[in-house]
Chains A and B, each alone.
Chain A
Amino acid sequence: MRGWRSMIAGVILRAKTMDSVPELFRKWILISGAALLLCRAGIAQVASQAPASGTSSGAKRGISLASKGRCSQAVPSLKKAVAQITDKKLKYDVLMSIAHCAMGLEQTETAVRTLLELNRSFPQDPEVLYLTTHYYSDLALRASHELAATAPSSPQAQQLEAEAFESQGDWGKAITQYRMILDQNPQRHGIHYRLGRLFLTKTPADLENAKKELGEELKIDPTSAASEFLLGEIARQSGQWDDAIGHFDKAAKLDEGFSEAYLALGMSMNSAGKFTDAVAPLESYVKMQPDDPAGHYQLATAYERTGRKQDAQRQVVLQQESATKAPRTPAQP
């Protein structure tokens, strides 16, 4: 599984949809609020979908109880029955009934375990993914309420609040909140980084303040690969290749598993005409992310421009294969 840092970096590298972000946040919040309603509606839905025939009468009884709202009785029998069920459809219905009931009964552990099992047994099932999305976001909401109730003045609570402002596009309040954290603890890791990121997210981006904050983060935490990466990306998008190369090189050295840093380093080297230098980081990247057409394309470019025509052609084939397989997303510049 790709690391969280790589996921962020991937988004940054391919960034272009900033204006849609606040709307997505709003949608997310709406989803969270709908979660509790969902678990109640879901039970009835599963019951209505319950099969007429099955291999386990216990399971069917459990589903029937759940459909009548008798979840306290239903869950134990369903949990007992599920291990013996071989029929896939019945198993699906039993697990969905358990999940919906557990959510309604606020049996968090059971609900989460059942959702994990549903995701394992029925990957990519839209209903499972839908239910999972709602429940996880509801859990997150509950945890944030608990944090706010129990430790309202903690840096974590302040940070969460700042992020909430950020997600709503209220940059001013978010900045104020982050500054409050730094006033209390100027050495706290990650806050200057977040401020830097926030300045980049604004429209138009505030590059100078972003660079300043990211620089401050590196003073506090010289091992912040993410800060180096963002500084590199600012330089790359401005065509300042040497500066970009320096930052991406540091990011890759600080975190050897940071695959996107290798890609960005190779891209910047290609853009700077340093094709020979680009080969090594791009070869590293395609080993780490063999399904990403970006790596193959950039490596093909580096090979081509250093006279390795056959290697370049091979990479073009891989680039085309991976581009074809890749899910259709808005293309990148």
Chain B
Amino acid sequence: MATLAVETRGLSRRYGRRWALADVSLEVPAGSVTMLAGRNGSGKSTLLRVLATALRADHGEALVLGHDVRRERDAVRLKVALLAHQSFLYEALTARENLQVAASFLGRDAEGALLERVGLGTRADDPVASFSAGMRKRLSLARVLLQQAELVLLDEPYGELDPPGFALLDGVIGELRQRGATVVMATHLVDRGRLLCDRALLLEEGRLAWSGPAREMPAEAPGGSAHA
């Protein structure tokens, strides 16, 4: 039996009276690349934020790399990196300084090579305030790579990226897979996800509607795009 990187049982989370996640039970094998698909508002971001311990679930339980997200928050955080809709960046600081801040909390040296890797080598000393949305996404990706996490959660990672950015992200996901990290990627680019991912999970109105091999994901999956 494959080790599980993520295992949830009856996971539920609500905002006010609306359930963003309702009784979600799922498994993600360790070392896999999993696509999380679904329409806007289907609960993808909420699920990723709960797994990253950025949000607390109202009901149910979730184990991430063997740790309970509720009771072992710090242990989970040491092993998980989240690329979220929000960039987690300081606008007043430069790209290099943003990485250095994160690195100083991680007890690591900020590698200049990371900025080169994400295509920001020539803009390393420019303030983030002057960056486009795509450049911010690249810098956030560098921050995620800095964490060297065992589980990488990517929330709409292709959003705002240009075509070279798409290729960069494909390459990064390939590298993560090679080094044995588990990747869960929420995306609307279902066709791209089918090519990149081993498995797929489909959320509908906060519920798990389908799970299985990514290649077998229904072509009419809601929230998906045939492009890119």
Real binding pair: no
